[in-house]
Amino acid sequence: MLILAIESSCDETACAVVADGVSEVAAELASSAELHHKTGGVVPEVAARKQVEFILPVIESTVNQTAAKLGLAPEQVKEQVDALAVTVGPGLTGSLIVGIEAAKALALAWNKPLLPVNHLVGHIYANFVDGTIIDPFPAVALVASGGHTDLVLIKAHGDIHYLGGTLDDAAGEAFDKVARLLNLGNYLGGANLSQTARNYTGPPLPEKLPRPLLQENNYNFSFSGLKTAVKRLTDKKNYPVGAIAKEFEEAAVEVLVEKTVQAARETKAKTILLGGGVAANQKLRADLVSKAGDGITVKIPPLKLCGDNAVYIASAAYFNQNYQPLEKVIPHPSLTISEP
């Protein structure tokens, strides 16, 4: 089954064609991230206008790539595509609308079903794209991105239960805000902060940062206090940036890893699935594997599928084929992961 998927939830415009949810045929992506560096964050109106600019060339390029791969003329691709898929939320409404309306128009023109996909469920299915997962359920998934940090229990495809999530800032947001405090980047500085922590070889920070909610018997997270603790440190002491970055990363990763492994043990999960932009964090990837131990398989997406893209949207659509009539496919900015 060939699915053409569109993702436009924030500042990336992406389209992909995937076979049977596991085999990438074609993928194209355009990003307006450069513009948001200038403003230190995404201005929704600016992101939406860029979505309008990018959407048709991105779809066209994906169709052309698919044609080349299948040895067809571009106008023949529609005959091979079985269904379309599109991200319906969570995300910026103006950005989502562009992808959704393009997908609806294509579904109408090509006379294909349209499968709505939750963006966060999509992040989880980045783990399925290489086709190596066999019988992973029950699984616990940690989705850690710039806007969300959620732990869910997946009993089967489409059977997803919310276990807990952040009460305030998302993990990626905390990385980004601390990066800004430490002058390591004013937009999406999380990866840079992590790199600085990895490169630091000096003595550790003399003061420990808090591990928020680690001792509480639930699956919730809180990262805003951690950010405030870093702010207090930078205000009063002149510690090396590398030492602060390293201690912050250790604190954030420790909480993410401990809660995820605890959730997997308590729910008797066979597998831990990692997803979201923060899944690119090397320490998180390594610590999750080492802490999970032998009885639990940890699946981590390849780096290129950690950030937003349409490949995993196609995969999620394949494994969760909740077809909706076109008029029912609308953006859900507040959709939570417990409603896949």
> Can you give the binding site for Zn ion, defined by CB under 5 A?
145, 308
**Which one of Zn ion, ligand KG4, none is in contact with 65 (Cβ closer than 5 to 8 A by kind)?**
none
β-strands 83-89, 149-156 pairing:
unpaired
**Phi/psi of residue 144, nearest 5 degrees:** -120, 110
143 DSSP β-pair partners: 150, 275
**Looking at beta carbons only, is 58 or 77 nearer to ligand KG4?**
58
Which residue among 89, 99, 136, 147 contacts ligand KG4 (CB under 6 A)? 147
**Per-residue contact string for residues 27-66; x = within reach of ligand KG4 by CB under 6 A:** ----------------------------------------
Q: Residue 279 corresponds to which tokens in the numbers above?
A: 């899944």
Separation of alpha carbons 15 and 57, rounded Å: 10
State which residue has the least CB distance to ligand KG4.
Answer: 277
Q: Using the rule CB under 6 A, is 194 a contact of ligand KG4?
A: yes
Q: Is 163 helix (H, G, I), strand (E, B) or coil?
A: strand
222 DSSP β-pair partners: none
Residue 278 DSSP code: G
Which residue among 278, 305, 313, 337 contacts ligand KG4 (CB under 6 A)? 278
Q: Using the rule CB under 6 A, is 307 a contact of ligand KG4?
A: yes
Helices 241-266/171-181 angle, 10° precision: 170
Region 216-235 residues binding ligand KG4, contact defined as CB under 6 A: none
Which residue among 94, 99, 172, 301 contacts ligand KG4 (CB under 6 A)? 172
Which residue among 122, 165, 190, 301 contacts ligand KG4 (CB under 6 A)? 190
Q: Using the rule CB under 6 A, is 185 a contact of ligand KG4?
A: no
Alpha-helical segments (H) within 267-303 = 282-292
Smallest gap from residue 190 Cβ to ligand KG4 (A) = 3
Q: Nearest 5 degrees, angle CA 15-CA 9-CA 11?
A: 85
Q: Using the rule CB under 6 A, is 196 a contact of ligand KG4?
A: no
